[in-house]
Chain A
């Protein structure tokens, strides 16, 4: 009998050995396949298992995390959510992440290997480094001023620091509270549906993802092209432009809102925003040089990241003469994001140099140690420094005595350009009010802020919409906030 007991024992041993071999197969050999299965919720649980890092504005977090005690434990909270929504975006357990929450996700979720001082050691100890923070370049006061200025009207504000490219303001209105989308419950799903079906499009980031016809504000670009190409050498010389101007090859006659545009000088045409003069100037400069200048400012660039992508602003290079004339006054296919127009103003303000804008100053560990700085951003000479100097004068004139007087600030040099952009089929839509400007305090050696404001304002009467009236005061408030005046 002993022999058979041994056989039975060997059989049982075999069974248990098979268990061990199979366990090794599941836990070691196949584990990668199982871990990577999208229905394995462990990665998601780990991701939300600890508080998310914060996004900082002016040293203060504008985000937070709340422990829900649910399986996906931490949910995102936002302080002043609608104000910062175009910057932070949302971080939702149901709908993913957008904007800084998205581009900074590695640091904010704590998965960025750079967060750990000793990554290999952490693999051994299985300790996770706490999530890091994203420090923005935003100016809190200016951001608030811009949001307050729009006061719920449809529109957007973008401001940058010309000498560095730091983005100071990104505001889109109407906005929404990203905190409504943080969780994964019923309320989040209905908020998502409501926000997506809202005709006002509150989730659209108008500052960087919406392009508008820039209208007369584009005349800054046209003027730069004309001066750089030598089409205009003296800003006070007569330009020989008729009023009205017949678009080349058509019978369409272009007119002006203002009087006294016939044969006006570049200075007065700029000051009073004469369409006829700039349409003719664009044609005189030619497609090639107009496109080159516009692209130097950043038009037609699909690669701009701040660090989330910015919609492409366009200046159509395949145009006939009449279309070129219209393009040169910011109509036809010319379209720009508010950020793009702020870049135009910044290049003028800072001797024709344009710095690639950026929104993230640095990323830090929980304790404030820097993980990664913003690093040097490329500088581009958009136009001759002398051209920039001429344009600074022209823009300053607009604010001192032209269409943009409402942007003036005591104790600072302010340059600006108004715009009222037609749009819609047969220009049927309510025009957009634009204002682009820059400011330099009298005691400062460098320009401190360049800003672009667009107000869609669908509710106002058409006749009352103007860049000088609606948009300029908002720009002024933003600039004053930056200058601290």
Chain B
């Protein structure tokens, strides 16, 4: 068929392209993800006690029912959504529960897997809620400023509470501890996306030119820089450097995508280096982290025994290529943060490089699908929102995984879905719900059956 022919045909009558909804694939993958998680759960029990753990059926049923409910919600309200988001979320969450259960066995009396299962249920519940209630992601644009006000409030809240392990990022009440910074992440991504979508032309084409850089006017750039400075400032006060780094990188990436100005990346990198150097010099907590990163065995040489980072490196090394097998490693030697910050070390030790690579590739797939949804959308807010959410995932995985494997200085952040922590699991499910909503819109717009 010639080009001319195609054009003619298209003009004559719009082709009715029926997109496959691919919900069957999603269901099959979800079943696979649940089975893999149950298999991991049983493997832990077999390795540790020689029997299938008594909770295996309940665990499998619980995870399965949650996943099926989520799937049903997607089928009803987001039938065109990318079929990979939900299964990957289920698999990562299931694997996280297995790893936490496995570490629980080493610390009797401090079981955290049941709580994590409750939080996961809550997270999936929120996921279903978002998918059902939020019919169009563009609605979020309207509430962007409300959202960012809430986000700043949430971020500022922990200052009123005592610090935990050197960082003021938790609030505790009635036996619960919540990390509001996690929720702020999503709200901030929405705000950035909304603001940049609305002002991207002004950002890109107005203002004065300085050397190679086109600076927008203060009126356009001002509000967003203020919001960003406020949030990062609060986080620095709270010593949550991982999250402040995340917000900074998110800001730079979205600014770049919105304006297409490479100069923003240069400015961002410059600011990051200057900021990191300044904070690294002045803040003892951060300085310690950087020292640990440069010399992971300094405490051993000083006769104080291995620190968490060297224990983490030992764990990864012990795993080798194929790993020791679930339940057979000794990553519990890392200490109190083995279930949260350092949960990846357990994956690295017991599943080996093979398993670790699989986990990282799952994240990569999640990120890539997010970007793909962003590319497919036609309106800027959705695009920026998808890019923002996917970037948060990628940056967070990089910062925490890079930290525990000694690639970059360690910052206390939660591995999405894997790590123990309620706020984190709930937030991640909301993020996946938003990605599903965006990807549904992205593909829906091409479906010829409905005019939109």
Contact = CB atoms under 8 A, between A and B. Distances in A.
B184 to A, nearest CB: 21
Contact of A26 (B383, B391, B395, B406): B406
B84 to A, nearest CB: 15
Interface string B310-334: 1001101111110011000010010
Contacts of A12: 367, 371, 390-391, 394-395, 398
Interface stretch (A34-42, A133-141, A256-264, A323-331): A34-42
Given A23-B316, A42-B330, A16 B375 contact: no
A30 B310 CA distance: 13
Nearest to A12: B394
A243 B300 CA distance: 71
Interface stretch (A2-10, A54-62, A356-364, A470-478): A2-10
B348 A27 contact: yes
B258 A13 contact: no
A35 B356 contact: no
A7 B363 CA distance: 18
A1 B364 contact: no
B216 interface: no
Contacts of B360: 16, 19-20, 23
Interface in B229-266: 253, 256-258, 260
Contact of B330 (A4, A16, A30, A45): A45
B300 A27 contact: no
A19 B321 contact: no
A1 B383 contact: yes
B203 to A, nearest CB: 12
B318 A42 contact: yes
Interface string B339-379: 00000000010001100110010011001100100110000
B427 to A, nearest CB: 19
B405 interface: yes
Contacts of A42: 314, 318, 330, 333
Nearest to B400: A19
A126 interface: yes
Given A27-B316, A39-B300, A16 B364 contact: yes
Given A6-B375, A7-B256, A18 B407 contact: yes
B314 A37 contact: yes
Given A13-B364, A31-B318, A39-B310, A26 B405 contact: yes
B407 A27 contact: no
B297 interface: yes
A23 B375 CA distance: 30
A40 B314 contact: yes
Task: State the majority secondary structure of interface residues on A.
Answer: helix
A126 B350 CA distance: 13
B260 A3 contact: yes
B257 A1 contact: yes
B348 A23 contact: yes
B405 A22 contact: yes
A168 B382 CA distance: 87
A445 interface: no
Interface in A177-225: none
A95 interface: no
A16 B394 contact: yes
A309 interface: no
B305 interface: yes
- Interface size range on B against A: 35 or more
Nearest to B329: A42
A118 interface: no
Contacts of B406: 22, 26
B398 A34 contact: no
Interface string A233-275: 0000000000000000000000000000000000000000000
A35 B394 contact: no
A120 interface: no
Count chain A CB atoms within 10 A of each CB in B318, B380, B390 and give the residue with the most: B318
A24 B313 CA distance: 12
A4 B257 contact: yes
B187 interface: no
Contacts of A9: 367-368, 371, 390
A40 B258 CA distance: 49
Given A5-B387, A6-B375, A23-B360, A37 B405 contact: no
A337 B390 CA distance: 78
A16 B314 contact: no
Interface in B21-43: none
A11 B253 CA distance: 9
Contacts of B402: 15, 18-19, 22
A5 B371 contact: yes
A35 B390 CA distance: 36
B397 interface: yes
B189 to A, nearest CB: 13
Contacts of A20: 357, 360
Given A18-B402, A23-B348, A26-B317, A41 B330 contact: yes
B53 interface: no
A425 interface: no
Contacts of A41: 330, 333
B386 to A, nearest CB: 9
Contacts of A24: 353
A23 B394 contact: no
B257 A27 contact: no
A41 B325 CA distance: 18
Contacts of B130: none
Contact of A19 (B375, B380, B397): B397
A28 B405 CA distance: 13
A146 B391 CA distance: 79
A5 B374 contact: yes
A7 B260 CA distance: 10
**Residue of A24, A27, A28 with highest tally of chain B CB at under 10 A:** A27
A1 B258 contact: yes
B46 to A, nearest CB: 14
A4 B357 contact: no
Contacts of B316: 23, 26-27, 31, 34
A35 to B, nearest CB: 6
A366 B397 CA distance: 47
A19 B401 contact: yes
Contacts of B320: 27-28, 31
Contact of A27 (B317, B333, B364, B371): B317
Contacts of A6: 371, 375
B125 interface: no
A15 B400 CA distance: 12
A13 B398 CA distance: 10
A16 B397 contact: yes
A372 to B, nearest CB: 30
B306 interface: yes
A23 B347 CA distance: 12
A35 B260 contact: no
18 contacts: A1-B257, A4-B257, A16-B363, A16-B364, A19-B398, A19-B402, A23-B357, A23-B405, A26-B313, A26-B348, A26-B405, A31-B318, A35-B317, A37-B300, A39-B305, A39-B306, A41-B333, A42-B318
Given A5-B371, A11-B253, A15-B394, 9 more contacts: A3-B260, A9-B390, A16-B360, A18-B407, A23-B348, A23-B405, A26-B317, A27-B317, A42-B314
| 4 smallest beta-carbon distances between A and B, as pairs | A34-B317, A12-B394, A31-B317, A15-B398
Interface of A: 1-9, 11-13, 15-16, 18-20, 22-24, 26-28, 30-35, 37, 39-42, 45, 126
